[in-house]
Amino acid sequence: MIIRNYHLTQSHDWSLLIGKGALGVLPRHISFRDYSSIVIATDDNVAPCWLSMVIKSFGKSGSVLPIIIPHGERSKCMQTVESILASLQSVGMGRDGLLIALGGGVVGDVTGFAASIYKRGIDYIQIPTSLIALTDSAIGGKTGIDFVESKNSVGTFYQPRLVVCDPMFLKTLPRRELVNGMAEVIKYGLITDEKFLGLLTSHTLDDMPWERVIDFCATYKADIVARDERDTLGLRALVNFGHTVGHAIEALSRYRVPHGHGVAIGMMVAARMSSQVLGLSEFEREKIEFVLHQFGLPTRLPKGMNVNAIIQKLGTDKKARAGKVKWVLLKKIGKAVPGIEVPGKVVKKALECLYD
């Protein structure tokens, strides 16, 4: 098992536990803190599989209380946050309480947001159970909700005390969610290391070395966050490769397009822009498309998706400035460049190329 500790100047320090058996270390890891109460927030998909086991791991099941929310992106809203806050209030949790997020990206984001605003901030822990959360969304302290059909437009930077990345949670993950999560995993190979991309393509979902994959992605994200916690230096923008278009597609589909599918399409759009702006070779662009296909991810716009509507939605992205987006593009596989301005006609052409 790997334990990494991170020192942040703008927030409290936090730790990352990665590996088989990481969950078993959790009670000992937090025992030095005298929490008056512990509440676990999860969803109705994860609860039947893992909630009882996680509660029992504390050895005092009667004092660990659950909150169960509906699964899916539609729960990433203020109503869900309010329900969590009401539950914390009802059990009398003070600022010396602990809130645990047990689930995927939706659970992690809304629980972290609730923790950041309840009593002006209480401790929370992330226990990610989806591939997306294990490799990306649970790490970094970005919390929030979707608002007025805009992805993650309301939220906070608020670091958990601990992130527990145990690959055992993948045992019960539906195959479609493994495919969905591979978009984020592939992203890390594209922006950081072609050798890691080679590791992925030499395996299938059935024999993937998940512990090694999770360690690579989670550690890279955590290291970036430690250097640029609030994305003021532009370093953290690197992990948003493919996300700008991806978020727009998710929102326009009313979240019927899963996050990973949106990111996969967004990475293809970014790859085409990279060819035009930074000279990414046609060979490498085709390689990106091949890798996405290998793991069952889409590389074309959803049927009926309007290019002009996507372009309009891009201007409302939370990272846009004065309606203008700065893109993360690839000079080559393994070499990402943030903060690139792309002419509107290039963006439009890249999108139009992804029509079937």
Q: What is the pLDDT of residues 241-289, one digit of tens each?
A: 999 999 999 999 999 999 999 999 999 999 999 999 999 999 999 999 9
| R_g of the chain computed on alpha carbons | 20
Same structural domain for residues 245 and 332? yes
Average pLDDT over residues 326-348: 96
66, containing H or E segment: strand 64-69
The confidence score (pLDDT) of residue 58 equals: 82
- Tens of pLDDT along 139-152? 999 999 999 878 88
The confidence score (pLDDT) of residue 322 equals: 63
Last residue of a domain, one of 140, 172, 204: 172
Last residue of a domain, one of 172, 196, 222: 172
Closest CA to 179 of 221, 130, 107, 138: 130
Same structural domain for residues 140 and 204? no
334 pLDDT more than 80: yes
The confidence score (pLDDT) of residue 145 equals: 96
Same structural domain for residues 108 and 257? no
Same structural domain for residues 287 and 303? yes
Percent of all residues in the chain with a pLDDT value above 70, rounded to a whole number = 95
Q: How confident is the model at residue 328 (pLDDT cuts 50, 70, 90)?
A: very high
- Tens of pLDDT along 170-221? 999 999 999 999 999 999 999 999 999 999 999 999 999 999 999 999 999 9
- Tens of pLDDT along 283-308? 999 999 999 999 999 999 999 999 99
> What are the DSSP calls for 218-250, one per residue?
HHHHHHHHHH-TTSSSSSGGGGGTTHHHHHHHH
Same structural domain for residues 261 and 163? no
The total domain count for the chain is: 2
In whole angstroms, what separates CA 175 from the centre of its chain?
A: 18
Same structural domain for residues 92 and 16? yes
Range of the domain at 69: 2-172
Alpha carbons 29 and 18: distance in angstroms, whole number:
13
231 pLDDT more than 90: no
Same structural domain for residues 75 and 185? no
Q: How confident is the model at residue 6 (pLDDT cuts 50, 70, 90)?
A: confident
* One-letter identity of residue 252: L
The confidence score (pLDDT) of residue 321 equals: 65
Closest CA to 124 of 138, 137, 134, 135: 138
Same structural domain for residues 189 and 133? no
- H runs (alpha helix) in 148-296: 175-192, 194-201, 210-227, 243-252, 259-277, 282-294
**Bridge partners of residue 155, in order along the sequence:** 144
**The domain spanning residue 105 has which CATH number?**
3.40.50.1970
Strands 335-341 and 64-69: unpaired
Same structural domain for residues 113 and 248? no
Average pLDDT over residues 146-174: 93
Same structural domain for residues 153 and 207? no
- The per-residue pLDDT of the chain, averaged, comes to 92
Q: How confident is the model at residue 317 (pLDDT cuts 50, 70, 90)?
A: confident
The confidence score (pLDDT) of residue 5 equals: 75
Same structural domain for residues 324 and 184? yes
Percent of all residues in the chain with a pLDDT value above 90, rounded to a whole number = 80
The confidence score (pLDDT) of residue 62 equals: 57
**The domain spanning residue 288 has which CATH number?**
1.20.1090.10
In terms of pLDDT, which residue wins out, 1 or 248? Answer: 248
Last residue of a domain, one of 172, 195, 214: 172
Same structural domain for residues 166 and 199? no
318 pLDDT more than 90: no
- Tens of pLDDT along 52-82? 999 988 876 558 899 999 999 999 999 999 9
103, containing H or E segment: strand 98-103
